[in-house]
C-alpha cells in the first residue's frame, strides 16, 4: 500500500506575519513592485522549505495568495467587473487590489464569509465577460518550487463548481453559459501543469459537502466528465472539507484519480457512506484526519483507529494522510508561546505541529511502528492533563448554566411597546447617525499600548493616555454632528481578545495569528476553561466618555456567539454550553452598564452566521442555542434600555428569521457592497425592528461622496420606515486612518441631514 503525508494547504502569512507586512508596505508605496514580488517569492519559498523540513512528502502549491485565492481565480479568468475599465491594464496589481480594497474611482467587490469560517473572500462578479486565461499563477508557483527547491508539488485550485457557487451576477440561464466558459479554462490550467510535470492536481470542492439537488449533481457529473475528456492524463484529486461528501455514491465515482474526505467534521456521515457504498478501488483516498480548524493536539491512538477503520472500509491501495481542511485557519507554530500554562501548551498543535502529527501517523500506518518511543502516551497524557485541570471544574458556573430557564431568553415587553418608551427616553432625531464602535487605532495608540504591555509606562500613564484619546474623539464626533457617540475602544486590542482578558477560562498567545481578510490578521483567544464574569470590563471608559457630552454614548460589548466563533474553543464540552457561559457573563456586564446610567448598549454579533452548519437540516439546532445565548445576555435589561447589535457580510436575505429572533431594538448591517440585495430582500421580507444601514465600506480607504450616500438612503426610504431607520458605516473603523474616517463620517452626517430635510419638505 502506498501511504503519503500531505496537507490541503498551509498558512501563507508567515510565523511573524511577514506576508502582511510586505503587502502593507507595498500599499503604502514604501517598496516598488519588483521588490514586493521578490519579497513575496522569498516568503513562498520559505514556507515550502518549512513543510519540507517537517517531513511532509507531498507539498501543496498554489495555496499562496497576494490577497485572496478566490480573487486570484477571478482575475486569472478575467472575471473583472466593467467598472474597473477606468483603471489601466486589467490584469495589473492596481486592478487586483482595486477589486479587493477599492480606490477613489471605484468601489471594491463584495466580501463575505468563506463557508462557516472567520475568513472572508472576495466575491467574483460575473457580468458575461469574455473569459480567458490571463496568467497561470499556479503554474508559475509550481515551476518556482521545482526550480528553486526541487519540489514536485501538488498544485491546488478551487474547483469550478465551488467557484461558481461562490460567485454572483448570473441567473439560471447564464449560469450554464458561465460553466461552459470556465471548463476549457480549467482544462487549460490543468494541462499546463501536467506538461510542467505535476503528478497530482488538487481541485478543492468544499461546495460538494452542501445540500445538493439532483440537477446540481448532474451538473457536477457533466463538468467533471468534460474535464476528464479534456485532460485525460491528469491525476486529479477532488478535495472536500468542512463536512461529509454529499451524494457519496455518485460523487465518489466522478472520473478523477482520487477523492479527499473530511474525517473530522464529516466523520460520522463519511464513515456511514463508506460502510454503505464502499469506495472505488482504483482511486486514491485522502483521509482528512487532523483538524485544520482548531488548535488542539490529536489523540494519536484514536486517529490511528479511525485511519485503520477507513482503510478497512475503503479497501484502497493508495492512501493519503492529511488535514481535514487547509491549515490557514490555524497559526503557524506554537514555538513562541512559551508563556502559556504547561497543561495548555502541551495540548496545543498549530500548523507545524499538525504536520508533525500527520507525519507520525503516516509513518505508523506505513511501517507499524512509531518514529519516537512513548509518543502515544505523551499525546494521551497532554490531553488528560488539561481535561482534569481545575479551570474546567468551576461548579458555580456549571450550576448557573444548569439552572437556565426558558424565561431567561425573553424580554418582558414586546418591541413596539419598548420602542415608544425608548423614543421618549432617548429623544433622538429622525434617522439618527452613529458608528459601529471603534475608531482608528493610530500608530501612537499601538505604540503606547505596546509600551504599557512591556511595562515601559505605568498603568496610570496608560489609562491617562486612553482617557485623552477618548476625549479627543468625543470632541471630533461632536464636531462631525453624530447623534449617538461611542468612546472609540482605544483600550481594546481586539473585540474578542479584550473581553477574554477580563473573563476566566481564557488564554492568550503572543504570535498565534490567522488571516481574517486581506492583510487583516487576528489572534484568537483560547477558551480552555469555564468562563466566568468577575468584574466590570467596560464601564469605566464608557462612563468617562459619557461625562464629556450631553449626547448618548453607547456601551460597546461583543456578543457571546462572536466571542465563541472568533476564539479557539475547548472541545471537551458542547459549544452550546460554552456559549451559555459567555451569555451569562455578558449579561453581568450589561447590568453593570445599566447601573452606571448607560441607556444604549450595543452587543455585536458579526459572527452569528458563520457558525451555521453547511447543511441546512442542521441549522435549527445551532440557531436555537446561538440566538438564545444572545437573548440570555440581553433579556434582563430595563424596558427603556435600547439594545443594539451589529452584523456584517451575513447575507441578510436568507438570514432574516434568526436576526428577527434576536429581538434587538436596532441591528446595523453591511449594505455598502451589497446594498441592492438588502433592499430587494426588505421589499419581500419587511423587518419590523430598528435597522441601521451600513452606508459606506470601511474596508476600503476611499471616502464616499455625500451624493453616493444620499443615493443609498433615498433608495432605502421605500422599505425602511422612518421610526426604524438608523444610519451608520458598515463596520468598525479601527483599521482606517483618521483623516479618511473624519471625511467619510462628515459626508455621512451631511447626507442624513439632507434626508431629514427632504422628508420634512414632502
Q: Is 646 annotated among the ligand-binding residues? A: yes
Q: Is 329 annotated among the ligand-binding residues? A: no
Rounded CA gap, 410 and 668, in Å?
A: 21
- H or E segment to which residue 239 belongs: strand 236-239
Q: Is 670 annotated among the ligand-binding residues? A: yes
In three-state secondary structure terms, 489 is coil
Rounded CA gap, 565 and 629, in Å?
A: 13
Q: Is 648 annotated among the ligand-binding residues? A: yes
Rounded CA gap, 488 and 465, in Å?
A: 13
Q: Is 604 annotated among the ligand-binding residues? A: yes
CA angle 82, 85, 91 (to 5 degrees): 100
CA 366 vs CA 303, 363, 369: distances in Å: 14, 5, 8
Place of cell 461583543: 558
Q: Is 19 annotated among the ligand-binding residues? A: yes
CA torsion angle for 457, 460, 464, 466 (degrees, to 10)?
70
Q: Is 473 annotated among the ligand-binding residues? A: no
Q: Is 370 annotated among the ligand-binding residues? A: no
Q: Is 20 annotated among the ligand-binding residues? A: yes
- H or E segment to which residue 2 belongs: strand 2-5
Of 187, 316, 298, 191, nearest in space to 259 by CA: 316
Q: Is 437 annotated among the ligand-binding residues? A: yes
Q: Is 731 annotated among the ligand-binding residues? A: yes
Q: Is 677 annotated among the ligand-binding residues? A: no
List Cβ neighbours of 214 (8 Å cut-off, separation of 6 or more): none
Q: Is the dihedral of CA 169, 175, 180, 184 positive or negative?
A: positive
Q: Is 153 annotated among the ligand-binding residues? A: no
DSSP state of 406: G
Q: Is 489 annotated among the ligand-binding residues? A: yes
Rounded CA gap, 49 and 44, in Å?
A: 9
Sheet of strand 258-262: strand arrangement:
2-5, 318-323, 284-290, 258-262, 236-239, 201-204, 154-158, 60-61
List Cβ neighbours of 329 (8 Å cut-off, separation of 6 or more): 117, 118, 119, 292, 293, 514
Catalytic residue among 487, 552, 699, 737: 699
Rounded CA gap, 557 and 605, in Å?
A: 9
Contact 587, 636 (CB under 8 A): yes
C-alpha 255, offset from chain centre: 33
Q: Is 113 annotated among the ligand-binding residues? A: yes
C-alpha 324, offset from chain centre: 17
Q: Is the dihedral of CA 659, 664, 665, 667 positive or negative?
A: negative
Rounded CA gap, 288 and 182, in Å?
A: 28
Residue 699 designated active-site: yes
User: Around Cβ 84, how many Cβ atoms within 10 Å?
Assistant: 18
- H or E segment to which residue 351 belongs: helix 351-367
Q: Is 205 annotated among the ligand-binding residues? A: no
Contact 262, 269 (CB under 8 A): no
DSSP state string for 68-123: -HHHHHHHHTT---GGGGGSS-TTSHHHHHHHHH--SSSPPPPEEESTTSS-EEEP
* Binding site listing for L-methionine: 436-438, 489, 604
* Binding site listing for 5-methyltetrahydropteroyltri-L-glutamate: 17-20, 113, 520-521, 566, 610
Q: Which residues are catalytic?
A: 699
* Binding site listing for L-homocysteine: 436-438, 489, 604
* Binding site listing: 17-20, 113, 436-438, 489, 520-521, 566, 604, 610, 646, 648, 670, 731
* Binding site listing for Zn(2+): 646, 648, 670, 731
Amino acid at each position: 500500500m502506498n501511504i503519503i503525508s500531505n496537507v490541503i494547504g498551509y498558512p501563507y502569512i508567515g510565523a511573524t506575519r511577514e506576508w502582511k507586512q510586505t503587502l502593507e508596505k507595498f500599499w503604502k508605496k514604501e517598496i516598488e513592485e519588483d521588490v514586493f514580488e521578490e519579497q513575496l517569492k522569498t516568503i513562498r519559498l520559505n514556507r515550502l522549505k518549512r513543510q519540507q523540513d517537517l517531513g511532509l512528502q507531498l507539498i501543496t502549491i498554489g495555496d499562496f495568495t497576494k490577497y485572496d485565492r478566490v480573487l486570484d481565480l477571478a482575475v486569472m479568468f478575467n472575471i473583472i467587473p466593467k467598472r474597473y475599465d477606468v483603471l489601466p491594464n486589467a490584469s495589473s496589481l492596481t486592478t487586483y487590489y482595486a477589486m479587493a480594497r477599492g480606490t477613489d474611482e471605484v468601489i471594491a467587490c463584495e466580501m463575505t464569509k468563506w463557508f462557516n469560517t472567520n475568513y472572508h473572500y472576495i466575491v467574483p462578479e460575473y457580468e458575461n465577460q469574455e473569459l480567458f486565461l490571463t496568467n497561470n499563477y499556479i503554474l508559475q508557483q509550481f515551476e518556482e518550487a521545482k526550480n528553486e527547491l526541487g519540489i514536485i508539488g501538488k498544485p491546488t485550485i478551487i474547483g469550478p463548481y465551488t467557484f461558481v457557487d461562490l460567485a454572483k451576477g448570473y441567473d439560471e440561464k447564464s449560469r450554464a453559459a458561465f460553466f461552459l466558459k470556465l471548463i476549457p479554462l480549467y482544462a487549460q490550467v490543468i494541462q499546463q501543469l501536467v506538461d510542467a510535470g505535476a503528478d497530482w492536481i488538487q481541485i478543492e470542492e468544499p461546495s460538494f459537502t452542501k445540500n445538493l439537488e439532483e440537477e446540481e449533481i448532474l451538473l457536477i457529473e457533466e463538468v467533471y466528465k468534460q474535464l476528464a475528456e479534456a485532460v485525460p492524463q491528469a491525476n486529479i484529486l477532488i478535495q472536500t472539507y468542512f463536512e461529509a461528501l454529499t451524494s457519496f455514491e455518485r460523487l465518489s465515482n466522478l472520473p478523477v484519480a482520487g477523492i479527499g474526505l473530511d474525517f473530522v467534521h464529516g466523520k460520522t456521515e463519511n464513515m456511514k457512506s463508506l460502510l454503505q457504498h464502499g469506495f472505488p478501488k482504483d482511486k486514491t483516498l485522502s483521509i482528512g484526519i487532523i483538524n485544520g480548524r482548531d488548535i488542539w493536539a490529536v489523540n494519536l491512538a484514536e486517529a490511528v483507529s479511525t485511519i485503520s477503520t477507513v482503510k478497512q472500509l475503503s479497501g484502497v491501495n493508495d492512501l493519503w494522510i492529511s488535514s481535514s481542511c487547509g491549515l490557514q485557519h490555524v497559526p503557524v507554530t506554537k514555538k513562541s508561546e512559551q508563556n502559556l500554562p504547561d497543561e495548555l501548551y502541551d495540548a496545543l498543535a498549530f500548523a507545524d505541529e499538525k504536520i508533525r502529527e500527520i507525519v507520525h501517523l503516516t509513518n505508523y500506518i506505513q511501517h507499524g511502528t512509531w518514529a519516537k518511543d512513548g509518543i502515544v502516551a505523551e499525546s494521551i497524557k497532554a490531553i488528560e492533563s488539561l481535561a482534569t485541570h481545575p479551570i474546567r471544574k468551576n461548579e458555580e458556573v456549571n450550576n448557573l448554566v444548569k439552572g437556565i430557564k426558558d424565561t431567561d431568553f425573553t424580554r418582558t415587553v414586546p418591541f413596539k411597546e419598548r420602542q415608544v418608551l425608548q423614543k421618549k427616553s432617548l429623544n433622538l432625531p429622525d434617522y439618527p447617525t452613529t458608528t459601529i464602535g471603534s475608531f482608528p487605532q493610530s500608530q501612537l495608540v499601538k505604540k503606547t499600548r505596546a509600551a504599557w504591555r512591556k511595562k515601559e509606562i505605568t498603568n496610570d500613564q496608560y489609562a491617562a493616555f486612553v482617557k485623552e484619546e477618548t476625549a479627543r474623539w468625543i470632541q471630533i464626533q461632536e464636531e462631525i454632528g453624530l447623534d449617538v457617540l461611542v468612546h472609540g475602544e482605544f483600550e481594546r486590542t481586539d473585540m474578542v481578545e479584550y473581553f477574554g482578558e477580563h473573563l476566566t477560562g481564557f488564554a492568550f498567545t503572543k504570535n498565534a495569528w490567522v488571516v481574517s481578510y486581506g492583510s487583516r490578521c487576528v489572534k484568537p483567544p483560547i477558551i480552555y476553561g469555564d468562563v466566568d464574569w468577575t468584574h466590570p470590563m467596560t464601564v469605566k471608559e464608557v462612563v468617562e466618555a459619557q461625562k464629556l457630552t450631553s449626547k448618548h454614548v453607547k456601551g460597546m460589548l461583543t456578543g457571546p456567539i462572536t466571542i465563541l466563533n472568533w476564539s479557539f474553543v475547548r472541545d471537551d464540552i458542547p459549544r452550546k454550553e460554552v456559549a451559555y457561559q459567555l451569555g451569562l457573563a455578558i449579561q453581568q456586564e450589561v447590568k453593570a452598564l445599566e447601573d452606571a446610567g448607560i441607556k444604549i448598549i450595543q452587543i455585536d454579533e458579526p459572527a452569528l452566521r458563520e457558525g451555521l452548519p453547511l447543511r441546512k437540516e442542521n441549522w435549527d439546532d445551532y440557531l436555537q442555542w446561538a440566538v438564545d445565548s444572545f437573548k440570555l445576555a440581553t433579556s434582563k435589561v430595563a424596558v427603556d434600555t435600547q439594545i443594539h447589535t451589529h452584523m456584517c457580510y451575513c447575507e441578510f436575505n436568507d438570514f432574516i428569521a434568526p436576526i428577527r429572533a434576536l429581538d434587538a431594538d436596532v441591528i446595523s448591517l453591511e449594505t455598502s457592497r451589497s446594498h441592492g440585495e438588502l433592499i430587494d430582500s426588505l421589499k419581500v421580507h419587511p423587518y419590523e425592528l430598528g435597522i441601521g444601514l451600513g452606508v459606506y465600506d470601511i474596508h476600503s480607504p476611499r471616502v464616499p461622496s455625500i451624493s453616493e450616500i444620499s443615493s443609498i438612503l433615498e433608495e432605502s426610504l421605500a422599505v425602511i420606515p422612518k421610526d426604524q431607520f438608523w444610519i451608520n458605516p458598515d463596520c468598525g473603523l479601527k483599521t482606517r486612518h483618521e483623516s479618511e474616517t473624519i471625511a467619510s463620517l462628515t459626508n455621512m452626517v451631511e447626507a442624513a441631514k439632507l434626508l431629514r430635510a427632504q422628508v420634512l419638505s414632502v
